[in-house]
Amino acid sequence: MSLVEKALEKMQNAQRQSSAAAAPRPAPATFGAVVSGSGARSTAAPATAPGLFIFNHDRLVQINQTALRLAGLLPPAHQERQLAQQYRQIKRPLIDNAFGPSRIPKGSLIMMASALSGEGKTFTSINLAFSIAREPDVQVLLVDADVAKPHISGLFGVADQPGLLDIVKDKSITLESAVLPTDVPNLYILPAGRRSESATELLASARMQEITAYLERVPNCIVVFDSPPLLLTTESQVLANAVGQIALVVRAGKTSQRTVLDALSHLGNGRTVSLILNQAVGVSGDRYYYGYNNETRSPSERES
């Protein structure tokens, strides 16, 4: 049985203990706003350790965390401690792959993926970014790379700001000018930017490689890319080639093993992929996250 199938078998066992809870869906409301002017710089949360890279400009995204909780995009107060512990379990191996003794190439660049829509990928991306931002010596840049349906840009009120596609398409727009600090310490946002019919080609371009290579060199910075679904778009498959780690969100009680294996087949061999089981209601903490390293085998290969 392959490593992938073992992880999926564990997930299926967990699914049998879970209820068919509805996946969190982003509400149409906006939960953030960009504040401009000289006062924004002074209110931006500073880096908490020397040597961290700071994106300097005079815009600040103010995030309404209370509204996010009411909309189901952050855990309610009575579940906050439990979910915080689960995300600690999720982020620890990802951070170790980025900065630990056995760090992997481009390990600080993490793509949040799903096979199909409705898996809870954006919910997971947001909560993972908030969890990583609590690390005292790490910054996190949340990139809205779901360029076809930029949910994160809309949620945080930055849909009209220059973003990823803009800086890839126009070299006069710098990464530093597009990245927005937030009022959450150590958390930054890069919007999706203006939509383009050639988004796949832009994300596959040499310019995109330059941008990801630059981000990889930013000290103590984890970059979380919220990507489109793997089985519905070509942009996600291209983006997968630009990162060092891929976290595949699987919704309990919904996503079939065949669907997950189909999604993994789009990633190719030699990738570091982790599986995150979402919406597993009533399941103990160690059932929410399964990680595996698929460096030398394809999903169809069997162990001898």
pLDDT per position as a tens digit, 218-240: 999 999 999 999 999 899 999 99
Beta strand 271-278 with 139-144: parallel, antiparallel or unpaired? unpaired
Does residue 104 lie within any of the structural domains? yes
Average pLDDT over the chain, rounded to an integer: 81
Closest residue by Cα to residue 186 from 219, 145, 225, 226: 219
**How far is it between the farthest Cα atoms of the chain?**
63
pLDDT score, position 287:
41
pLDDT band at 277 (very low <50, low <70, confident <90, very high): confident
Rounded average pLDDT over 59-85: 88
Tally of domains in the chain: 1
Give the confidence band of 181 by pLDDT, cuts at 50, 70, 90.
Answer: very high
Q: Tokens in use for 67?
A: 């509204």
Residue 175 has pLDDT above 80, yes or no: yes
Please report whether residue 241 resides in a domain: yes
Read off the CATH number of the domain in which 27 is found: 3.40.50.300
Measured CA angle at 190 (ends 188, 195), to 5 deg: 165
Terminal C-alpha separation, the chain: 9
Q: Could you tell me if residue 270 is inside a domain?
A: yes
User: Residue 303 domain-assigned?
Assistant: no
What pTM was estimated for this model as a whole?
0.82
β partners of residue 35: 60
Per residue in 117-157, pLDDT tens? 988 899 999 999 999 999 999 999 999 999 999 999 999 99
Please check whether residue 300 lies inside any domain of the structure.
no
User: What is the Cα–Cα distance from 238 to 234, expressed in whole angstroms?
Assistant: 7
Q: What does the pLDDT read at residue 24? A: 46
Question: Which of 50-54, 58-62, 112-116 is modeled with the greatest confidence?
Answer: 112-116
Structural domain boundaries, residue 34: 3-294
Residue 51: predicted pLDDT: 42
Q: Is residue 304 part of a domain?
A: no
Question: Is 282 inside a domain boundary?
Answer: yes
Mean pLDDT of all residues in 72-95? 90
